[in-house]
């Protein structure tokens, strides 16, 4: 799977094909990817061992979401900007993927988040956000964790993020970073009009319930940046850690700490 803009990849596909050929690996390209890059389709019916992503974190999210429940890990070469989920830089493609194709990689299992709003259920790899459905309008959210009420917060919204998503919107909003290996989600309010709304880390088994207590403004529910539902005044959103796990393949030295240092220390 590649970046949405073919120009962003440049000769990346040709480089990938060369590495695969030299490693004795069968490389399958879906019809849409082949058409995007103007190369011959190499889609097949064989069992896949790993999915290779040439792109940024957005492309990685699409690939991880598509592979949920398949048991197939995803490895990324960063052709985007931050590339926190990627295992290697674009200039490391040949050496890095050569190692991956020889089996020199590790798989990190990361928790995902399930959101239920009415009859809509969706699983997110990074985060679920409940935010104002009207631009520039504040909302009032009532919330509870594990069935215990925690009051109401006037705010722009709330972010529920996985460890992989804690370094995305949650981080930019001042929320806590969760290292990979922690089976929990971070809950962070967006621009709360309160001195008491602080980020909270919630373990597995404790559902987060959020009611829209705004009288005239709907709440939009976003999963990994895409709106999946709208919650009318008085209605509720349920968020919990899901059973599905996203499978992130990485080189042994591309640890969480090394990525964190490289991505955010400058």
Report the alpha-carbon distance of residue 188 to residue 172 in Å, rounded. Answer: 11
* Active-site hit among 32, 43, 45, 57: 57
Report the alpha-carbon distance of residue 14 to residue 97 in Å, rounded. Answer: 13
Strand-pairing partners, residue 2, are 54
CB 144 within 8 A of CB 209: yes
Other C-beta atoms closer than 10 Å to the C-beta of 73 total: 23
Based on the residue annotation, tell me whether 32 is a catalytic residue of this protein.
Answer: no
Coil/strand/helix, residue 92: helix
Other C-beta atoms closer than 10 Å to the C-beta of 81 total: 10
Tokens 């919204």, residue? Answer: 157
Coil/strand/helix, residue 46: coil
Q: Which residues are marked as active site?
A: 57
């Amino acid at each position: 799977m590649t970046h949405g803009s073919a120009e962003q990849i440049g000769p990346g596909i040709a480089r990938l094909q060369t590495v695969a050929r030299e490693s004795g690996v069968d490389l399958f390209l879906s019809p849409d990817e082949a058409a995007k890059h103007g190369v011959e389709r190499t889609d097949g019916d064989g069992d896949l061992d790993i999915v290779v992503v040439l792109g940024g974190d957005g492309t990685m999210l699409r690939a991880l979401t598509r592979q949920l429940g398949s048991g197939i890990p995803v490895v990324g070469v960063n052709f985007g900007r931050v590339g926190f989920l990627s295992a290697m830089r674009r200039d490391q493609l040949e050496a890095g993927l050569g190692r991956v194709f020889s089996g020199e990689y590790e798989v990190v299992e990361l928790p995902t988040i399930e959101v239920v709003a009415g009859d809509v259920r969706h699983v997110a790899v990074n985060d679920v956000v409940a935010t104002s459905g009207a631009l520039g309008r504040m909302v009032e959210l009532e919330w509870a964790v594990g069935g215990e009420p925690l009051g109401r917060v006037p705010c722009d919204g709330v972010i529920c993020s996985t460890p992989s998503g804690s370094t995305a919107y949650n981080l930019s909003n001042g929320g806590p970073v969760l290292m990979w290996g922690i089976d929990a989600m971070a809950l962070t309010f967006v621009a709360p009009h309160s001195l008491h709304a602080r980020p909270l880390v919630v373990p597995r088994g404790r559902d987060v319930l959020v009611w829209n207590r705004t009288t005239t403004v709907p709440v939009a529910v976003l999963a990994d940046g895409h709106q999946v539902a709208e919650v009318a005044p008085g209605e509720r959103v349920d968020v919990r850690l899901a059973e599905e796990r996203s499978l992130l393949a990485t080189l042994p030295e591309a640890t969480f700490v090394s990525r964190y240092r490289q991505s955010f220390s400058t």
